[in-house]
Amino acid sequence: MRFKNLFINIGSSYAHIVLSLILNVMYVPIALHYLGTERYGVWIVLQTFVNFLTIANFGIPTALLNLMAQSDNNLEKSDILLKGFKILGLICLAILVFCLISYLLIVYFTSWLSSLSLEIRISSIILIVFFILRIPFQVSSAVFVANKKIFIAKIYEFSTIALTFLSLLVMIYFKQNLIFLAGLSGVILLVLNIISFKSALKILNIANYRKVENWIEARAIYRPGIALFAAGMGSLIVWNSDNIIVSKFLGFQEVAIYSTAFRLFSFAFMSFGLIFGIIVPYYGQFFKERSWVKLHIFFNFNLFVIPFIAICVWLFGWLFAKDIIFLWLGNYKLYAGSNLYFILGAYGMVFAYVCVMSNLLSSLNLLKGLVYITVVEAIVNLGVSVFLVRFWGYEGVALGTLIASSTVPLAFLPFLINRNDKLEISFPFHKFLASILFYIIMLSSLYKINADEYVFQLRLLISIGYLLLFLLFQYILNKKMLKEILKLQRE
């Protein structure tokens, strides 16, 4: 197996992380300074609501990626892409009509919208319309990933972040409001998505749409797509309900504080998605070839590496959160205290393990059971977060997310993988439990002393010491697996 493309894709992915991190770090203080804490909180909540519209893709892009990853025929891939685009186009047209009718009914029969400012009403409508219009063209990412051209996908993803940042600067330069920002960013990103789609057509050499043969039935796309949609809906609730709960019970200013803390850790979560985008085609290849040994080694390697990244972020993000916030924003106004960062760091570790396991199943369309787990997690997350926010504020919201992820997917996904009759691999329960217990014990030992009370030099010494200890532990635990992955690389 040749790993040249893998290393190129990994390199481009981490270049994307660094560049995106720089722009995101610059975006928050600039937006906060111009909009103010409350309006910035409103903008975050608006984006959160719009993110729920991701359900409009009904899991079709992921279904396309999985089907393309298991195909070696460009004509078949072309047919998959075009059918997926048509299905999404019809879905989004129906949703736009539904949204228009709903808006007219709300305006005519209720006074709910009148309680919102004109700026919020118009900007939210613009965000929704352009977000829906962009959805069909986003199938292009499936082509890039399935053809192992991750670097092209990363170029477009970074362009999205860069153009969003540019829209913010243009708004500030012309002293405009959120309506201007929503409209400008909407138009620019729609054009970018259309260009991306044309690039995908070029990769598949689709010159004439009508000449693409009927290689696959539409139901082969939308059936797994519906299951992926249900799983994705649960994930959306888990990821986007926090800001809504905080705004409802604590106010928009607290949203700015919570979202800043979450954004600090989400930079690390971004790296998980980039890695998963790279490994999906290999999962599909090994599964198609029935190379169970390679699939087992590859999965175990990911189960070791990705959570280790999350642990490092938990350690450094918690110990240095206050310093990072000050350097980032110039003051401590949005620093929420070390407890929130400790909880979010712990959630990051759980999230990493859950992502590795769910990614294996979803990338191979082995969705039986995964949907139920995701939906139950979303229900538990909502219930526990709403209950705890009344007692512990945004720390309670974060704790609700951590409890839901730990008690549902982290507990049940290992058994789901181990008992799947289509996967001839065994889940490494002893290494999995040993790693989690070791990480929890070691980091909990630090929790007794508030991170704010350490001097900087001591925190740095502790973090380096713990990092070396974690590396040594994982090397001892996974020594055999590391030799196997090196052997696989040379094949």
- In the chain, count H helices and then E strands: 17, 0
CA atoms of 443 and 317, how far apart (whole Å):
12
Q: Assess whether 205 and 238 both reside in one domain.
A: no
Please check whether residue 311 is in contact with residue 442, taking contact to mean a CB–CB distance below 8 angstroms.
no
CA atoms of 430 and 223, how far apart (whole Å):
36
Q: Assess whether 1 and 104 both reside in one domain.
A: yes
User: How high is the pLDDT of residue 79?
Assistant: 84
Please report the DSSP string for 386-405 in residue order. Answer: HHHHHHHHHHHHHHHHHHHH
CA atoms of 52 and 423, how far apart (whole Å):
32
User: Which of 300, 298, 278 shows the shortest CA–CA distance to 289?
Assistant: 298
Q: Assess whether 394 and 253 both reside in one domain.
A: yes
User: How high is the pLDDT of residue 1?
Assistant: 45
Total number of domains constituting the chain = 2
SS3 for 215-238 is: CCCCHHHHHHHHHHHHHHHHHHHH
**Residue whose tokens read 């139920």:** 372
Q: Assess whether 358 and 244 both reside in one domain.
A: yes
Please report the DSSP string for 354-420 in residue order. Answer: HHHHHHHHHHTT--TTHHHHHHHHHHHHHHHHHHHHHHHHHHHHHHHHHHHHHHTHHHHHHHHHHT-
Q: Assess whether 107 and 234 both reside in one domain.
A: no
Residues 445-454: contacts with CB within 8 Å, 24+ apart?
446/318, 446/319, 447/342, 450/338, 451/318, 451/319, 451/321, 451/322, 451/338, 451/341, 451/342, 452/322, 452/337, 452/338, 454/319
pLDDT digits (tens, 9 = 90+) for 111-168: 666 667 888 889 999 999 999 999 999 889 888 888 878 788 888 988 999 999 999 9
Entry field: residues in the chain = 491
CB atoms within 10 A of CB 37: 17
Q: Assess whether 13 and 85 both reside in one domain.
A: yes
**Final residue of a domain: which of 194, 216, 238?**
216
**Final residue of a domain: which of 166, 185, 216?**
216
The domain of 483 spans 220-491
CA atoms of 484 and 218, how far apart (whole Å):
40
CA atoms of 13 and 268, how far apart (whole Å):
13
Please check whether residue 144 is in contact with residue 193, taking contact to mean a CB–CB distance below 8 angstroms.
no
User: How high is the pLDDT of residue 338?
Assistant: 86
CA atoms of 430 and 275, how far apart (whole Å):
25
What are the φ and ψ backbone dihedral angles of 419, each rounded to 5 degrees? Answer: -100, 5
CA atoms of 167 and 270, how far apart (whole Å):
22
Q: Assess whether 93 and 194 both reside in one domain.
A: yes
User: How high is the pLDDT of residue 451?
Assistant: 58
Q: Assess whether 120 and 238 both reside in one domain.
A: no
CA atoms of 261 and 49, how far apart (whole Å):
19
Q: Assess whether 251 and 188 both reside in one domain.
A: no
Q: Assess whether 373 and 251 both reside in one domain.
A: yes
Q: Assess whether 234 and 183 both reside in one domain.
A: no
- Name the E strands within 175-279: none
Q: Give the mean pLDDT per block of 10 residues along the chain (491 residues).
A: 59 72 86 89 85 71 80 80 89 87 78 74 92 91 84 88 95 94 96 94 73 64 63 66 87 87 76 62 78 86 86 86 85 85 91 88 78 86 93 93 92 91 88 90 74 74 88 88 73 61
Q: Assess whether 33 and 121 both reside in one domain.
A: yes
User: Which of 249, 336, 257 shows the shortest CA–CA distance to 40?
Assistant: 257
Task: Say what the pTM is.
Answer: 0.76
> How far are the Cα atoms of 2, 54, 233 from residue 491, in angstroms, in the given order?
7, 40, 40
Please report the DSSP string for 296-316 in residue order. Answer: HHHHHHHHHHHHHHHHHHHHH
**Residue whose tokens read 């600039």:** 30
Please check whether residue 59 is in contact with residue 225, taking contact to mean a CB–CB distance below 8 angstroms.
yes
**Final residue of a domain: which of 216, 242, 276?**
216
